[in-house]
């Protein structure tokens, strides 16, 4: 097992406009045929049920259960495995543009309700509701930007963190309320991954500030805990140093307007094929993949099946200066793609 990825000297110049970023993401996501086959193996005809061989929404240890806690709790989502969670999401306050996560004793409504979930019921389990097109775009863009380290804020099912690690990146996964089964799985399957717990708004700046300028410029922060405007405000604490940032669940027009006001160079994965630009073939591949469509809660071929993740060019990428167009960037150490 190779524990670190080799880093090529060449990388792509930081895009100066949204159009340039769209072109870069679209081309980089399609040019690596081995990576494409991993995420879209024969467009739904699975060659393996092993996540090491191809993308899957969850690992084989996971099961579907209707006996789950509603909302986010620490420990297991499965009620039988975790009958008395000590902490849970205490409420999302304010508008959807500025949601705040708090923890407290679980409120009665969440204790009484039952929801469906994917769980390991006490056994190691990795899962994700992020479709393969988004993860493919993230990996491809990190390589084009010369990124070799990703800080993920918001772990939940752990599969996205594992896929970054599997494809050769150094991963730091930060979680506010750790879920037991994904944590157990990552400790077993990705022993080199840094697993941190607490407030990402405090942890991430401390991590970035401890890096050299070059290390920070080769780091991406993926915000999937804090959301949208509040996540961007946290990003502002490291904006000038890191190479790249991403914001999940970013489909709100107000967030797009906010990024424009902040004069960010940004691009969103979108869900509509007609809006996808050079990323359109990736969106179409997601629409033709039954498992990916199910992850998004849409029927196969539905125009809403897709993803809403926004990528933002960081100051570190700009600082590193010139590069070459669509250069190889990072080469995976664990997966040869």
What are the residue boundaries of the structural domains of the chain, listed by start?
Answer: 18-57+127-319, 63-119
In angstroms, rounded to a whole number, what is the distance separating the alpha carbons of residues 171 and 255? 27
Instruction: Report the chain's C-alpha Rg in angstroms.
Output: 19
Element (H, E) at 313: strand 309-313
Six token digits for residue 322: 């010139």
The pLDDT profile of the chain, 337 residues, written as one tens digit per residue, is: 223 343 443 478 999 999 999 999 999 999 988 899 899 887 555 656 788 888 989 998 999 999 998 878 889 999 999 998 888 775 544 454 444 455 556 666 666 788 999 999 999 999 998 889 999 999 999 999 999 999 999 999 999 999 999 999 999 999 998 999 999 999 999 998 999 999 999 999 999 999 999 999 999 999 998 899 999 999 999 999 999 999 998 988 999 999 999 999 999 987 555 566 888 888 888 878 766 656 554 433 333 444 689 999 999 999 986 555 443 333 334 554 6
Element (H, E) at 273: none
Burial class (CB in 10 A: 0-12, 13-18, 19+), 94: exposed
In angstroms, rounded to a whole number, what is the distance separating the alpha carbons of residues 20 and 170? 27
In angstroms, rounded to a whole number, what is the distance separating the alpha carbons of residues 195 and 69? 24
In angstroms, rounded to a whole number, what is the distance separating the alpha carbons of residues 20 and 74? 41
Return the CATH architecture of domain 18-57+127-319. 3-Layer(aba) Sandwich (3.40)
């Amino acid at each position: 097992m190779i524990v670190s990825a080799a880093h090529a000297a060449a990388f792509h110049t930081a895009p100066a406009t949204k159009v340039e970023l769209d072109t870069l993401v679209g081309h980089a996501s399609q040019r690596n045929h081995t990576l494409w086959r991993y995420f879209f193996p024969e467009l739904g005809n699975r060659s393996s049920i092993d996540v090491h061989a191809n993308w899957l929404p969850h690992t084989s240890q996971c099961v579907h259960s209707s006996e789950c806690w509603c909302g986010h709790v620490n420990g297991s989502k499965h009620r039988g495995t975790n009958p008395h969670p000590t902490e849970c999401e205490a409420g999302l306050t304010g508008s959807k543009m500025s949601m705040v996560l708090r923890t407290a004793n679980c409120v009665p409504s969440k204790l009484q309700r039952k929801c469906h979930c994917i769980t390991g019921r006490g056994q190691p389990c990795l899962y994700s509701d992020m479709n393969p097109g988004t993860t493919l775009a993230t990996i491809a863009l990190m390589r084009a930007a010369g990124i070799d380290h990703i800080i993920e804020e918001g772990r939940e099912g752990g599969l996205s963190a594992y896929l970054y690690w599997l494809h050769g990146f150094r991963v730091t996964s930060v979680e506010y309320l750790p879920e037991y089964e994904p944590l157990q799985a990552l400790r077993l399957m990705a022993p080199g991954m840094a697993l941190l717990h607490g407030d990402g708004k405090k942890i991430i700046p401390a991590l970035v500030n401890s890096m050299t300028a070059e290390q920070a410029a080769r780091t991406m922060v993926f915000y999937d805990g804090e959301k949208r405007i509040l996540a961007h405000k946290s990003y502002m604490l490291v904006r000038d140093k890191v190479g790249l940032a991403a914001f999940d669940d970013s489909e709100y027009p107000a967030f797009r307007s906010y990024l424009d006001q902040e004069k960010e160079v940004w691009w969103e994965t979108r869900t509509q094929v007609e809006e996808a630009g050079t990323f359109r073939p990736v969106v179409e591949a997601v629409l033709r993949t039954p498992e990916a469509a199910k992850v998004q809660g849409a029927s196969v071929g539905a125009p809403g099946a897709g993803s809403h993740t926004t990528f933002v060019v960081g100051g570190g990428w700009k600082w590193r200066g010139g590069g070459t167009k669509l250069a190889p960037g990072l080469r995976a150490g664990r997966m040869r793609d």
